[in-house]
Chain A
Amino acid sequence: MTMATNRPDNATHPPHTDQTPSTPTTDGSTATNRSTPASITNANARGNKTIMNSNTSAASPARDSTAAESSSDAKPDEVLLTVENLRTVFDTDDGTVHAVDGVDFTVQRGETVCIVGESGSGKTVTSESITQLFKSPPGSIADGSVVFDGIDLASRTEDELTDIRGARISHIFQNPQGALNPVYTVGWQLVEAIQLHRNVDDDAAREDAINLLNRVGIPEASSRLDDYPHELSGGMKQRVMIAMALACQPDLLIADEPTTALDVTIQAQILKLLRELQADSGMSIVFITHDLGVVAEIADRVVVMYAGKVMERGSVYDVFESPSHPYTKALLECLPGHGSLGGIPGSLPDPTAPPTGCRFADRCPYAVAECTVGEQPVFESVGREVQNEGIEHEVSCIHYRSTDDPSVLDQLGSDRSSTPQERPSGQTGGSRDSDTDRDGDGDGDGDGDRGVTRE
């Protein structure tokens, strides 16, 4: 097996020398400056595109798309959704699966929050927990609160949630094929979605349906209304799904890997569409994905999840500019063109019996003995100065405690390829690197293979 041999420069971040915010950088691709303390405001990270708007310390999520202006007047400071200490468990034959194990994040109005992580990280369950879409039983929210616009959703009854789903919080899913009913026309389903939450007559609903299809960029909307789902391409189906989700002008759109099943060209179209729709309506988006490339395209705020826990969270600029948690770094290296091939050695911990200490310690090349004891480390602030758009950049890693020097991660990183890491827990890692053990059966052969070394 090969391991990362060379990390390209843009991942190792040479310390950035000072640069005044008013100097527009010339090339966006090299503007991935590691935010060494004090010397920079983060404005230059996106300086080349926005011609240096001077209000970097203001909270408006200024972006280079047209979304910037219109979403900023949607009361950007107002928190729409607060998830606190959310724990969702599933009772299975093999024990209780702690799918989401103490997750906190907030979503402001007009903002896009990306929850990113591998399969099995609990990102989908987190999104489903907001409106309790998961099947219950076996799933249930064990602890925590989900406050949406002042309403605590975690304690609502199923009936009350039904009123909120679709009307105020809409979902779109990965597979548009499965989410559309093949025996009804697109128009019928759209009209149904509209009439489910609004008391309008058929003609008005149909008119709304046409407008919705127009809004999501479906050409010849009026004739498409009478098509059946199978007559549409994958990208068109996803657009229809988005139209249905928008039918009741939701405050929050939860998009669970909406582009994963699509071609990259269509993915680009859908992402652009979502940005435009958000700019028009000022809705918030919670976007679930495993692809950091997509995150960079659409997010304002990023929540990196691993094994049911949040590893790192912050504004998209901070997270990409100075990825801090070793897991975030590893995920970034997996992106094509970053680092080299090889993935993240090891596999997810057993969700029925999560390990003590940091969940990622087992696979972490920077882990020390301390990482495997106690609870998941508390969040430490990364940037010690101004945060982008007032969003805290926090990381759950002991190397970032004020008494520790996070630069150890950079040093270790440079020779990470040459020396196999000592495993702090004393277990020896096999040469086998299996990925997520999704069945979670945790049977005998699932325990010995969480090796971090590769020969």
Chain B
Amino acid sequence: MAVDNEPRETFEDVDWDDIDETTRAFSRKTIVTIGAYMLFAVGLLYDYVLKPPRADTIEPLGISLQALDWLYILTLLTILVGVVVPLYENGRMTRYYWQQFRKNRAAVASLIYLGVIFLIGSIGPRFLEQPTVDPSNAYQPPVFTSAPNWLPVECAGEVAGGSCHGTWAHPFGTTHEGKDILVSVIYGMEVSMQVGLIAALITITIAAIVGVSAAYFGGWIDAALMRYVDIQITFPTFFLYLMIVYLYGGSLFSMIVIFGLLGWGGIARIVRSEALQRREEEYVLAAKNAGASGYWTMRRHLLPNVSNSVITAVTLLIPSLILFEASLAFLGLGDPTVPSWGEVIASGRSDLPNAWWVSTIPGIFLFFTILAFNFVGDALRDALDPRADGGDK
């Protein structure tokens, strides 16, 4: 802020003719944002066009990025640009949100839990080998617990009183194939985050654009978009996915893309009805009175103000997507190459009487992850409403 004794610019000093003549320069933030997306595009271009097929993406490090990974990077980049940066820039509002959010203890705990899941899920798979089949290592019980000695082929820990005790080598035990459950769970974390975040982001992006445009433009654009939504909502997405599974085999990428691209109809309707109300507010008229374009109004006023209902919808959407992925994996319709929680749960279902941990442990993670998303969503919804005055009279 300007120091008082310095003469500062006033509104009378602005030379509008001068401003009209200068072509609009991009702000640094815009340049950085565009740069980041350009970098992403270049990387994608290199991976799919320039580099020899079947080679690793980054040869010296042995990193090979798949379509799903690229999509995940794009999602994280967008979350950074669209959520983290604005929160950082509006420090005062962020503090206010945080104050409101903090009131909900369960939500804070959930947020920490989700942060840990996200971090472990992002880092773990980079350093851990995928769990491998090792029949000799099957049915190891988790640490601090024990199983009848006849169950594991070779008890890795100490055997006492006819029971095999778990060891830190396999803290969560192993499956009937001898796969380490901890590693599977960590891989499952990444899968769940990928499913939840990518599909949700695709959904929100399309729903917000469609809903806000329909509300703002109205008329035939509104009619066309909403009739398309009507049709899309009746489309049997699940059967489309089944078909793809039978034709090409299950793949996480196709699952995410199909549910992301075809699941936004309901949210678009919510966004539209919310934006229709916001469009009638006087601040939209004030923006028009300032000479703002339709894009400006939608971007600066309608979108931020429908975010409440979007967040509500998303917090319901993400857990349901994670649960859906788990269910498909449980049914064996998931991606056989990635160890997801649903798959591990399924692998233990016949062993429940003896090796309870195989299904239970990933089940607990699944349960808490979904619960945490719901808690966080609830608290966010309360915190993000700037009209709620915090119990003030």
Contact = CB atoms under 8 A, between A and B. Distances in A.
Interface in A190-243: none
Interface in B95-131: none
Interface residues of B, number: 5
A139 interface: yes
Interface in B49-105: none
B145 to A, nearest CB: 45
A439 B389 contact: yes
A212 to B, nearest CB: 33
Contact of A139 (B389, B390, B393): B393
Contacts of B282: none
Interface in B377-393: 389-393
A125 interface: yes
Interface residues of A, number: 14
A438 B391 CA distance: 13
A159 interface: no
A64 interface: no
A432 to B, nearest CB: 14
B390 A125 contact: no
A97 interface: yes
Contacts of A440: 392-393
A411 B287 CA distance: 50
Contacts of B392: 92-94, 97, 439-441
A441 B99 CA distance: 14
A99 interface: yes
Interface in A172-192: none
A441 B95 CA distance: 15
A420 interface: no
Interface string A59-100: 000000000000000000000000000000011111001010
A125 B393 contact: yes
A93 B393 contact: no
A138 interface: yes
B393 A99 contact: yes
A431 B389 CA distance: 28
Nearest to B103: A93
Nearest to B100: A93
Contacts of A97: 392-393
Contacts of B391: 90-93, 138
B343 to A, nearest CB: 46
Nearest to A94: B392
Interface string B357-393: 0000000000000000000000000000000011111
Contacts of B389: 439
A94 B99 CA distance: 12
Q: Which of B389, B391, B392, B393 has the most CB of A within 10 A?
A: B393
A99 B393 CA distance: 9
A50 B378 CA distance: 64
B98 to A, nearest CB: 14
A97 B392 CA distance: 9
A49 to B, nearest CB: 41
Nearest to A440: B392
Contacts of A441: 392
B16 to A, nearest CB: 29
B393 A138 contact: yes
B390 A90 contact: no
A325 to B, nearest CB: 25
Nearest to A97: B393
A91 B391 CA distance: 8
A142 to B, nearest CB: 14
A86 B392 CA distance: 20
A442 to B, nearest CB: 11
Interface in A293-339: none
Nearest to B390: A93
A343 to B, nearest CB: 23
A308 B391 CA distance: 19
A325 B390 CA distance: 35
Interface in B222-246: none
Nearest to A138: B391
A93 B391 CA distance: 7
A443 B393 CA distance: 16
Contacts of B390: 92-94
Nearest to A351: B393
A138 B393 CA distance: 9
Nearest to A90: B393
Interface in A11-45: none
Contacts of A90: 391, 393
Contacts of A93: 390-392
A362 B159 CA distance: 82
Contacts of A439: 389, 392
Interface string B283-296: 00000000000000
Contacts of A125: 393
Interface in A86-120: 90-94, 97, 99
Contacts of A91: 391
Contacts of B393: 90, 92, 97, 99, 125, 134, 138-139, 440
Interface of A: 90-94, 97, 99, 125, 134, 138-139, 439-441
5 nearest interchain CB pairs?
A: A90-B393, A92-B391, A93-B390, A92-B392, A138-B391
23 contacts: A90-B391, A90-B393, A91-B391, A92-B390, A92-B391, A92-B392, A92-B393, A93-B390, A93-B391, A93-B392, A94-B392, A97-B392, A97-B393, A99-B393, A125-B393, A134-B393, A138-B391, A138-B393, A139-B393, A439-B389, A439-B392, A440-B393, A441-B392
Given A94-B390, A125-B393, A138-B393, 13 more contacts: A91-B391, A92-B390, A92-B392, A93-B390, A93-B391, A93-B392, A94-B392, A97-B392, A99-B393, A134-B393, A138-B391, A439-B389, A440-B393
